[in-house]
Structure 1
């Protein structure tokens, strides 16, 4: 199974942010990851994940290279 491209995953997340938080696409793209995480934690505090560490970020960058 092929992992989804970053752009595909980001567009899906933008749509979910619109449904969950009433954000327009511009709101999503202007938000920082910390702002999105804060809203997600507030919406579902029991399901909130800790922020990614350096190793996870490196794996994500390898899985979803730019370009």
Structure 2
């Protein structure tokens, strides 16, 4: 028997790859550019210091209307 192995899970194979951080950053930049700055996607791991991460928290609180004591 030769040929490709068929599986009921084959249709999900494309979504089962490991995450690609570089692709995520590229897509976030594309979303920002395509929306003329209306959409901003930031992964905490892209911020290298505590100050920038804290500023992200404060912006999230302001944007989402969260209670500051819960962040």
TM over 0.5: no
TM-score under structure 1 normalisation?
0.31
| Structure of higher CA gyration radius | 2
Query: Hey, which of these two has a bigger chunk of helix by percent?
Result: 1
